[in-house]
Amino acid sequence: MIPAQFDYVAPVTLDEALSLLAEHQDEAKILAGGHSLIPAMKLRFAQPALLVDIGRLKDLAYIREEGGQVRVGAMTTHYQLESSARLREICPLLPECAAAIGDVQVRNKGTIGGSLAHSDPAADWPAAILALDAEMIVVSAVGERAIPASDFFVDMLTTALAPNEILREIRVPLPPPRTGHAYAKLPHPASGFAVVGVAASVTRGADGTCESASVGVTGVSVKAYRARGVELALKGGALGQQEIAGAATHAADGVDLNEDLAASADYRRHLAEVYARRAIERAASRVS
C-alpha cells in the first residue's frame, strides 16, 4: 500500500499546469480530489512519475448559468453540487446524483472532473452526464475543444482526454419545460459505488406523452452508456407503468455485461431493467 516514487508540483495557474502536461505527457498525472488516483497509486495500478496537483486552481470550482447552460468547473466537489439550492431548482439531477456518491468525506474531497476523467465503470456521474447530454470542455497548451458526453467515455477507465489535456468545464443544457429527472442506484454495500445506476431525463409533450427521453446507465458494462433502446421505446408513447416497464427491458441491450462478486451478468441485466424502470417512473412523475 505504498506508492511508487513520484515528483509533485502544485501549479497556481491553469497555464502552468498545462505546460507541465505538455512537457511530461504520459509521465504526468493530474491530481484533483485524490480519492481515486491515490488509492490506485497505493495499489501501484498507477505509477505516474509526476503528480500535477490542481487543487490550488480555485477558479476551476464553480457553478454558473450562462448561454442556456449550467456550467460546472471541473474542480467543483460532489458536495458543492449536492448542496446547491439553485441547482435543485434548475437542474435537480446534478444534486440528486451527487448525493448518491460514497460518503460525506468522499463528497467533500472528490470532484466532478476527477470522477468523469477517471471513468470508473461504477461511478455515478457518467450516468447523469450522459442523460443530461452534457458537453466536456477540455484544454491543452495548444487550445480548447468540446467533447459530447456520448463520445467522452471510451472504455474501462479510459476517456477521450489526451495525456496533455485537462477537463476544465462540464456544460449541461438547461432542461426544457415539462422535463423530469431522476437517478436510481443500487449501491455496493461496502464502497457505495453503483452496482447499477440509472439516470433518466423525461420530457412530456403538451398531451402528457413522452416527447423525448434520455437514459444513462452505469455499473452495468465497462463504461457508462446511453440506453438508446429504452429511449426509442419511450419516445412518442404514453408514460404509464406498463409502457415504462416495457421500455426498461431494453436497458442492457447490446452491451457486454460486467460480472463480479457483487452481481453476475444475468443479475446485472435484471438490475438494469429494474433501476431503469424506477428512474423513468420517478422522472416522469416529477414533470410539473
Ligand X SMILES: Cc1cc2nc3c(=O)[nH]c(=O)nc-3n(C[C@H](O)[C@H](O)[C@H](O)COP(=O)(O)OP(=O)(O)OC[C@H]3O[C@@H](n4cnc5c(N)ncnc54)[C@H](O)[C@@H]3O)c2cc1C
Closest distance of CB 150 from ligand X, Å = 19
Are 196 and 185 a contacting pair, CB within 8 Å?
yes
Query: 52-81: which residues touch ligand X (CB under 6 A)?
Result: 74
| Integer Cα distance of 60 and 167 in angstroms | 10
Cβ atoms within 10 Å of 223's Cβ, excluding its own: 22
**114 lies in the binding site for ligand X (CB under 6 A):** yes
**193 lies in the binding site for ligand X (CB under 6 A):** yes
- Give me the count of residues in the chain: 288
Choices 142-150, 185-193, 202-210, 229-237; region in contact with ligand X by CB under 6 A: 185-193
Cell numbers of 200, please? Answer: 433518466
Binding residue (CB under 6 A) for ligand X from 173, 192, 237, 246: 192
Cβ atoms within 10 Å of 36's Cβ, excluding its own: 20
**29 lies in the binding site for ligand X (CB under 6 A):** yes
**149 lies in the binding site for ligand X (CB under 6 A):** no
Choices 23-31, 62-70, 241-249, 264-272; region in contact with ligand X by CB under 6 A: 23-31
Amino acid type, 242? Q
Cell numbers of 38, please? Answer: 491515490
Are 215 and 199 a contacting pair, CB within 8 Å?
yes
Instruction: Count Cα neighbours of 65 within 13 Å in the Cβ-side half-sphere.
Output: 9
Binding residue (CB under 6 A) for ligand X from 18, 87, 94, 101: 101
For ligand X, give the closer residue by CB, 110 or 180: 110
- What is the contact surface with ligand X in residues (CB under 6 A)? 29-37, 39, 74, 101-102, 106, 110-111, 113-115, 117-118, 120, 123-125, 161, 166-167, 191-193
